[in-house]
Homo-oligomer: A and B are copies of this chain.
């Protein structure tokens, strides 16, 4: 036949973006999430949409990622939204709060709830679009020089813990310390603090806390999971072809699962190595957990009384948390207890 075959030719945009993060490269699983996103976007656009990933401090400080993306000085960033509770307290729910949602519950809530939509509106007020793009899972409860058995044991203890976890610890009588990552080990070594929390076995091992504080507590009830977000300047996002928007969203969702996988692959051997080095595991008692949960919820109620948006998000979150607990308390909990509880 002489009829020409149709040729589908699309002129596609070449785009180069710089992506800023809140992570040093040494936190390779956290930093690996935006790298994964960049890699996927590159592969899915035949290299036309090119994203280069920068560590904290390379372009903007780690805790200024939202500011930079909001202003548009960079189009895109990867961060933990609870760093920005100074801008709005409700950002805490986007990431994780004490006695909050576990990984799977958090994914559902952010994706499908009224609270998730309200958080998107809050982000829109800051001129950004956000997508969950990573999770640490349940964190560990941190390193102490002595085993902590009761709320009494916590009183007066100098413990390094930021954020809402720190606020709850303060209500339990802890002398809460705020120290950046690199300052923790020296402070612990010379006895300026009695303990510290960080993330989990894989990241904690690298900072060497086990050498000077061998009682490793669990769970980190202040972070039953912690979602990291990919945030994009709204104008920059809207300037993308629809196809690239979908590719970016999809890559973020893959990164959300991929980071969980990375931690679940790297934490088990790290925990094993730590135990071989003489680390002792200590489970926080029900007394501590119950008291801490009570203080956490009284804190949320206080914040809800001051701000209508916070209250709306908190009420939706609290209701969701109660409903999903009944389901996660049956098949999933029972098989986990049987397989992992002995």
Q: Name A's B-contacting residues (CB within 8 A).
A: 6-14, 40, 43-46, 48, 99, 102-105, 107-108, 111-112, 137-141, 200-201, 218-221, 224, 241-243, 246-247, 250-251, 253-254, 256-258, 260-261, 264-265, 267-269, 271-272, 281, 283-284, 286, 289, 293, 323-342
Contacts and interface: CB of A to CB of B under 8 A. Distances in A.
Most-contacted residue by chain B among A286, A328, A330 (CB, 10 A): A330
Contact of A138 (B243, B269, B283, B335): B335
A9 B8 contact: no
8 contacts: A10-B12, A99-B339, A138-B334, A138-B336, A140-B330, A293-B338, A328-B336, A332-B336
Contact of A254 (B12, B200, B254): B254
A140 B331 contact: yes
Contact of A104 (B221, B260, B284): B260
Contacts of A48: 8, 10
A271 B333 CA distance: 15
A128 to B, nearest CB: 21
B102 A335 contact: yes
A242 B331 contact: no
A271 B138 CA distance: 25
Given A40-B250, A219-B330, A253-B257, A325 B340 contact: yes
A330 B269 contact: no
Given A99-B339, A268-B327, A325-B339, 16 more contacts: A8-B13, A46-B242, A102-B335, A102-B339, A104-B260, A107-B257, A107-B264, A138-B331, A224-B339, A253-B257, A254-B254, A271-B330, A329-B340, A329-B341, A329-B342, A333-B341
A200 to B, nearest CB: 7
A275 to B, nearest CB: 8
Top 6 A-B pairs ranked by shortest CB distance? Answer: A329-B340, A268-B327, A43-B246, A219-B335, A219-B331, A219-B334
A178 B256 CA distance: 39
A11 B12 CA distance: 10
Contacts of A339: 99, 102, 224, 325, 328
Given A43-B242, A224-B339, A103 B102 contact: no
A251 B264 CA distance: 22
Contacts of A329: 340-342
Contact of A220 (B9, B200, B331): B331
A112 B40 contact: no
Given A45-B243, A250-B44, A260-B104, A219 B332 contact: yes
Contacts of A45: 243
Contact of A44 (B243, B281, B340): B243
